[in-house]
Structure 1
Amino acid sequence: MDRIYRHQRHIYDASRKFYLLGRDGLIEGLEPPPGAAILEIGCGTGRNLVKIARRYPGCDCYGLDVSAEMLATARASVSRAGLADRIRLAQADATGFDPQVLFGRPGFDRIVISYALSMIPPWQPVVTEALRRLNAGGSLHVVDFGDQAGLPGAFKSLLSRWLALFHVTPREDLPAVMRQLSQVAGAGCRVATPYRGYAVHAVAEMPRG
């Protein structure tokens, strides 16, 4: 991942803002309780975390990423935004991490995964791990590429070729897997496919204790 993003990280946000649809809608839908702890898995450049921290000033924000290069960019972004006291970052593998070791806390009230599952080969364990790290009453919010079922076939083919250049693979079974893994974890799950299937927006909610 460091090899891929060593240079891309400098233009990542500018080059992705036109086709990573649904990120801001996901942030608006978090609706965390006061004092909530919010984690982004695969936080990349820190773009989403900065927006989350500004949108929910009463919450503590955390981010993890496996790429040291991306985290360097994220730390710079957080510092420029004046949010270093509210956003903590750590390097970790999303398929297995210890929030107590990384951040000194056992779990989170909201976890966000935004366009990261399509970049992680063992992506299903990431969802399992995220569900495991939710507090009672917490929720996991996922947005990523969908199956583009409602869009012309030529568009889907072109998009797939474009994404492959960046080692991105849409997970067409994401809705089914989210429902299945949520059920195993004892969570409810709702899934939407906005933009005619361009994206998937899934929310898994753990029951309150």
Structure 2
Amino acid sequence: MNKKIIIAIDGYSSTGKSTVARQLAKKLGYIYVDTGAMYRAVTLYAMKQGYIGSDHFYKEALENSLPLIHIKFEVNPKTGLAEVVLNDKNVEKEIRTLGVSRLVSPVAAVSKVRKKLVEQQQLMGKDKGIVMDGRDIGTVVFPDAELKLFMTATAKDRAERRYKELVERGDKVTYEDVLKNVVNRDHIDSTRKDSPLRKAEGAIQIDNSNLTLDEQFQQILDLAQNTIG
């Protein structure tokens, strides 16, 4: 496998994009970048500064603060996985809460936020050998990626997976709240003006409603290996 490629994985929330992208990168010896985590980190910053809440969003204040937001990924030596660091603090656990999930889509819809993060993401992929997942990787960040995937599943299946994940982590949530969040994020992500969620030209759709994690991974690994040649 001497030829390195860019693998762009887009799709709806809670379709397991990050899990399969992480597995794939590890198997191929590629770098993995979770772009959703970057938007979550910006959202967490905005929440802590009081710029966004359930009943308000001071968009201009967030835009003015963008030069103060520094995001990077550091590998956890115990797990071998990349974790998000916001302004020198590891926020991997904080960004995964339902509170952040509820507010990340409006933050991700802000053009200046997207511009800042897309520039960072494109720099990360300049040497190829990268697996990146998000909402606009194949359409905006890397439209020339050698392999583009678009992951989907029913809202019900996605909500059930996300609910189980949150409960196992100890979060106190209801299934109804998680389902509402999934449906709401789908709507915001698909209808925003800047880089709406859509299947990229040439992307292969993976509907994992009825696939096990192993079946999904094998299908995607086969596609990657065939593309690499």
Q: TM-score, normalised by structure 2?
A: 0.35
Q: Which has the higher strand share?
A: 1
**Higher RCO (C-alpha under 8 Å, 6+ residues apart):** 2
Q: Which has the higher helix share?
A: 2
